[in-house]
Amino acid sequence: MRVLASPAFINRWMNPYNWLLNTHLASLGVRVAGAAPWRVLRGQGDVWHVHWPDHVFNQPSAARAALGARALLHLAREGRQRGLRLVWTVHNLRAHDGRHAVLEEQFWQEFLPLVDGVIHLTHAGLAAASERFPALDARPMWVIPHGDYRSEYVTPHDRAAARRQRGLPADAPLVLYTGRIRPYKNVPALLDAFAGVTDRSARCLVTGAVTEPGLRQALARGAQADARVRLDLRHLRRPELASALRAADLVVLPYREILNSGSALLALSLDRPVLVPNRGALAELARQVGSDWVRCYDGDLTTAVLEEAIAWARETPRAARAPLEDFAWPRIAEAHRDAYASLIGSHTARPLHATVVPADAQRLGARLRPRLPRLATA
């Protein structure tokens, strides 16, 4: 079985999701290569697996966004004519920044008919995609979870050593946001909520690259107003990021919009409890790993919500390691291989418990859709 992936291995140091998936597929005998245009145009694969086709719309230039979209659509049509089956993993339902909404809607109208099979990361994601793109209900679809990051983010530091490394108090409550900082992630709301926290020993650490000048200025103002807040606004190397997570009592992801969250799984991979909005698939994640590891809140992030979550994170008994058995890469790779196989007919698919077979997926989407009318994206 030959798979062309977009991306395959190249983005390991930004987000190792694809690298982990495709190296585990390779261990099963699947031949995986990056979907370079010449490989697609020569039909050098059985499956073309596309992640984040919406990424082309995140750039400021409308002309470049349009050019990128046309190129992707052209490749998809040419590849399918050469026998490639196009598989889309639905990480997002629309581009994060919403810069080119009209162009993007035109793109989806042309892209969706080219899709042969759909992979969703959660059942909530399936329902949201069915709401947004009803045409996908006619496609074969599977629910296969996002895998953990335990093998990629490691640190020799325990909590105490990680705090010493950053000059943080040994036992003060520490709230952490980490990840790329973009408007939809709503990080200034965390600083606003933290400003009201009455425990003066508490600390808030915000890490991650930010490119929007206005957003950087808003964070700087929040940090200047509260000496308990520390900013490290850069892309952290993996050992640094793992150490920051290890130091935290609570990871807060105050997103305004969310469908799936790799950042939540990253925090859990370092065995840190997480506070997230009750949106997208995060309530489903809480059910999967337990309410002692994932806490959801409704509405806006407030000081009261944050203070209660800090107490929950520090006082709730929990195991030393988050229960991520359902997010192990070997079984996730097997589920992907079998999804591909069911499309190309190379052998009989053997769905795992993590895989929803097409008919079941369609019934599930129809059943959940009324309960989840306005799920947003991330």
Write out pLDDT tens, residues 23-81: 999 999 999 999 999 999 999 999 999 999 999 998 889 999 999 999 999 999 999 99
Phi, psi of 305 (to 5 degrees): -60, -45
Asked if residue 350 has pLDDT above 60, the reply is no
Average pLDDT over residues 209-219: 93
Length of the chain: 378
Q: Going edge to edge, which strands form the sheet with 203-207? A: 229-232, 203-207, 174-178, 250-252, 274-277, 294-297
Q: Is the pLDDT of residue 358 over 50?
A: no
Could you tell me the pLDDT band of residue 357, with boundaries at 50, 70 and 90?
very low
Q: CA 163, CA 245: separation in Å to the nearest integer?
A: 10
Q: Which of 149-153, 352-356, 374-378 has the highest mean pLDDT?
A: 149-153
SS3 (DSSP) at 304: helix
Q: What letters, b where the CB count within 10 A reaches 16 and e where it falls short, cover 11-44? A: ebeebbbbbbbbbbbeeeebebeebeeebbeebb
- What are the structural domains of the chain? 2-147+328-371 (3.40.50), 159-315 (3.40.50.2000)
**pTM score of the predicted model:** 0.87
- Asked if the model's pLDDT at residue 278 lies above 70, the reply is yes
Task: Give the whole-number percent of the chain exceeding pLDDT 90.
Answer: 83
Q: Give residue 98's pLDDT band: very low, low, confident or very high (50, 70, 90).
A: confident
pLDDT of res. 328: 96
Q: What is the pLDDT of residues 37-51, one digit of tens each?
A: 999 999 999 999 999
Q: Quickly list H helices, the chain.
A: 17-27, 37-41, 62-81, 101-111, 123-132, 159-166, 187-195, 213-225, 238-247, 262-269, 282-289, 303-315, 329-344, 358-368
Tens of pLDDT along 114-159?
999 999 999 999 999 999 999 999 999 999 999 999 999 999 999 9
376 pLDDT more than 50: no
The chain-wide mean pLDDT, for the chain, equals 89
Rounded Cα distance between 378 and 376, Å, is 7
